[in-house]
Amino acid sequence: MYAVKELFYTLQGEGAQTGRAAVFLRFSGCNLWSGQEKDRAEAACSFCDTDFVGTNGPGGGKYASAPALAAAARRTWPQAVWPEAPQPEAESPNASSSGGRPLIVCTGGEPLLQLDGALITALHGQGFEIAIETNGTISASAGIDWICVSPKSGAPLRQTRGDELKLVYPQSGVMPETYVELDFTHFFLQPKDGPDVALNTGEAAAYCLTHPRWRLSVQTHKLIGLP
């Protein structure tokens, strides 16, 4: 059984794949915050800006099997823009940089609480390239095509390699230099959302200017009104 908050088609708004069409599969539940406001102050991810509680979002629900959820994800991608045949670059483990096949972004909450080998196989069987956005506290299952890790202050980091590391900035007790030796291809600072987002954006930009290993990631979907 898979508990899904929402399942929808949009453009990726953050990180290295900004602007790319994708199905977003948002799982319900997280291991760093209950999602309830009464628990926010004590949560490791108290600045979370996402509703991942329950299964009542668009496309959400409880799916009894991996094939059922994968089929629902396939139906979410518009038929008119589904490629007629797999592109040659899809054979590459880094095919996501070329946009060669439909992308599904598994997020949450924390997707690795539910994303398992059976669902990875089923999503690949439907033709998807699979990306995850994880807090890194759980090691990723084999077969995921694109791994984005967003570490959180005070939480253990077990997934120490992947395609991109996206650090929400600033976070108390966490500095970007802690992560630069890890095995990631891209390093992003993403300004922490909220009432101080303008100040946080300026600070993140200033850090990137003085530490060119890092790139600035802004939430472009919010700027243009996409989910």
**112-163 confidence digits (pLDDT tens):** 999 999 999 999 999 999 999 999 999 999 999 999 999 999 999 999 999 9
Q: Are 77 and 59 in contact (CB under 8 A)?
A: no
* Confidence (pTM): 0.91
Q: Which of 26-30, 65-69, 94-98, 130-134 has the lowest mean pLDDT?
A: 94-98
Beta-strand ranges (E) seen in the chain are 2-11, 21-27, 61-63, 103-107, 129-134, 146-149, 161-169, 183-191, 215-216
**List 6, 27, 30, 110, catalytic entry:** 30
- Looking at residue 45, its pLDDT comes to 86
Backbone angles phi, psi at 66, to 5 degrees: -60, -45
Give me the mean pLDDT over the 27-40 stretch: 93
Active site residue 160: no
- Looking at residue 90, its pLDDT comes to 47
Active site residue 48: yes
Angle at 3 between CA 191 and CA 26, to 5 degrees: 25
- Looking at residue 46, its pLDDT comes to 84
**List 6, 14, 110, 133, catalytic entry:** 133
**List 14, 24, 106, 148, catalytic entry:** 24
- Going by DSSP bridges, is the β-strand pair 183-191/129-134 parallel, antiparallel, or unpaired? unpaired
If one compares 116 and 43, the residue with the highest pLDDT of the two is 116
Give me the mean pLDDT over the 21-32 stretch: 97
- Going by DSSP bridges, is the β-strand pair 183-191/215-216 parallel, antiparallel, or unpaired? parallel
Active site residue 106: no
Active site residue 110: no
**List 14, 48, 145, 163, catalytic entry:** 48
- Looking at residue 96, its pLDDT comes to 42
- Looking at residue 49, its pLDDT comes to 85
What distance in Å separates the CA atoms of residue 142 and residue 90, rounded to the nearest whole number?
17
**List 6, 14, 27, 45, catalytic entry:** 45
Active site residue 49: yes
**pLDDT at residue 26 above 80?**
yes
Average model confidence (pLDDT) across the chain: 92
Indicate the pLDDT class of residue 173, thresholds 50, 70 and 90: confident
CATH class for domain 2-224?
Answer: alpha beta
Which residue intervals of the chain are DSSP H helices?
66-76, 117-125, 197-210, 220-224
Active site residue 50: yes
**List 18, 50, 55, 220, catalytic entry:** 50
Active site residue 163: no
**List 49, 91, 116, 196, catalytic entry:** 49
Give me the mean pLDDT over the 54-81 stretch: 97
Angle at 141 between CA 135 and CA 146, to 5 degrees: 65
| pLDDT per position as a tens digit, 72-120 | 999 999 999 998 765 544 444 444 444 478 999 999 999 999 999 999 9
Active site residue 221: yes
User: Residues with Cβ < 8 Å from 215, sequence gap 6 or more?
Assistant: 186, 187, 188, 189, 208
